[in-house]
Structure 1
């Protein structure tokens, strides 16, 4: 039977694939947008006023941004080294889609990918021209320099579906990616591509992508539903009649596009204590915008809490880009 041998939770956002100077390319969008923060929604100027006592002016200096960027790169390298050392045969990746695959014509809550392979490639010049500032610059971190096909696990995906549908999980399935894409990128979502490129270092093992709609109301799965999904997927993996070592990933997070270090510390503590109820009780108003990607971490926790794996926080850096607290908190956890 299959053995779950490795668990990894990792951020995947643009701050990890752009320089400290390039982080500021996103500030113009920050100033235009309204941002969820601690259950409410604020404009940029209000956030600056709310957070004026936090010393963020120092956090956004170039020297501090460079220090945090370097720490993130060291953590990514450590995660990749641990992945190699674990010698896994296959992987299950809990990821999310941000209108890369699913557009407004249909947005499934949970999708299991059943294709034999999944492809990725760089954006075309026309797609790159449509990207917001700071996004194309990060593309190398999740898309290969040319089109590539990566092996997938349709047999495991089918086994997961056959196990979960009788339990009441209404799953969407997909056997191929759209061509041409309707979004500004093509191929695998960046939540998968980051794992392929930076954790697997382009040596991609056969993998099963499970994509959650974390971003787009009104059919976002709740935190509890994500955990229940993960627990059921874990049971299905362990009942899979294959003698393989499996890695399980949660790809996304942490708090962004407004950073909340207190929230992130609470989340780390819940992982450390295998505190499922704390994770399940997180309300949707606290899991919006980029922070919603932590639902992929919650789904992975549902798998991994039922194993005997243990681990630690490999790295955590709140990568601020403005005195409003905008940016991305990048976190990395490994259980072995």
Structure 2
């Protein structure tokens, strides 16, 4: 039977593919936004500054500090990439999300399994770059190749996942071909997946199955409990697969952003390390908004990985602030693999 030999949780955002100076390209959007979600409520930028004034976040957002933390992030990515390389993976399953990259307002499924033969990606055109959100286009090298590229999908495993999910009560959508979406700001596979191809797999992706959850856009966001259960279904499909493949499972997204909450991130990390499913599943929807919603991809991966014999450690956790309001992106990485001799 197939064997899950690696479990990995990774952030994937623009902070990891831009310079510390470029982090501030997002600051005007931070200041203009009137409804930053934070600990179950929403605030504008001045209100966040007042609320968090005792945390001395300005000192954590200086260029010197941003530079130091950027280097820590790069070291963590390299370490996770090394762990992946040593695992000798044949096939990967990636829990990720979409941010109007593939699915647009005409159709946004709650859960989608990609079962195509090929997965394509390409750099943005000049027209797409012109309409990209602030601070996004400059980061695209981190999740897009320099030219049109096709990667291998894995229809056999994807179809097994679909059948298992349906049997377990998940009415999943399936996609066999990535759309062109002319006129959209993005084309090809989303950054949740492209980041792993480029920076963790170092541009040598194995055949893989992208799994999309609609974490961002109401009203059909699957709950944390539902994402965990979906991950369990995916794990059952992998373990029942009559194959000698060595499989990696990734949770791609998070951590707290666009307002960083280190205590909340610690709760997620601790629950994963303790295999505490109920803590992960019982977190209210009000905490999974904006970029923080991507942590549902981590929870789905946990549902898959908690039932393995893998174990491991936190690679690193680096909160990357860009303002005194606490805006920015918290970055984190966890790797589980087989114990020596197991």
Q: Please, what TM-score do these two structures have when normalized by structure 1?
A: 0.99
Q: In the alignment, which residue of structure 2 is the partner of 1:16? A: 16
Residue ranges of structure 1 left out of the alignment (5+ in a row) = none
The separation in 2 between residues aligned to 1:31 and 1:330, in whole angstroms, is: 21
Equivalent in the alignment of 1:68:
69
Counterpart position of 1:176? 177
Gap runs ≥5 in structure 2 = 338-342
Residue aligning to 1:3: 3
Match of 2:124 in 1: 123
Corresponding residue for residue 160 of structure 2:
159
Runs (4+) of structure 1 exceeding 4 A deviation are none
Q: Matched residues in 2 for 1:179 and 1:296: separation? A: 25
Query: For residues 239 and 168 of structure 1, what CA distance do their matches in structure 2 show?
Result: 18
Q: Secondary structure at the match of 1:262?
A: helix
Conservation of the 8 A alpha-carbon contact between 2:11 and 2:331: yes
Shift of residue 55, structure 1, vs aligned partner: 1.1
User: What is the rounded CA distance, in whole Å, between the counterparts of 2:85 and 2:182 in structure 1?
Assistant: 32
SS in 1 for 2:258: strand
Secondary structure, in 3 states, of the residue corresponding to 1:256? coil
Distance 1:328 1:178, change over 3 A: same
Give yes or no for contact 1:111–1:173 (8 Å, CA) kept in 2: yes
Displacement after TM superposition at 1:182 (Å): 4.6
User: For residues 261 and 168 of structure 2, what CA distance do their matches in structure 1 show?
Assistant: 35
Counterpart Cα distance in 2 of 1:103 and 1:83? 32
Is the Cα contact below 8 Å between 1:100 and 1:181 reproduced in 2?
no
Which whole-Å deviations, capped at 9, do the CAs of 1:132-171 have from their partners, x for residues lacking one? 2211110000000000000011111111111110221010
Alignment: residue pair count: 336
Contact kept, 8 Å, 2:102 with 2:181, in 1: the verdict is: no
2:147 pairs with 1:146:
yes
Alpha-carbon distance, 1:180 to partner: 3.8
> Partners of 2:290 and 2:74 in 1: how far apart?
24
Superposed, which structure 2 residues align to 1:1-336 within 5 Å? 1-33=1-33, 34-336=35-337
TM-score for both structures, normalised by structure 2: 0.97
Alpha-carbon RMSD: 0.7
**1:229-266 C-alpha deviation (Å, 9 max, x unpaired):** 00111011000111110000000000000000000011
Closer/same/farther in 2, CA of residues 331 and 181 from structure 1, 3 Å limit:
farther
2-structure distance, mates of 1:183, 1:312 = 39
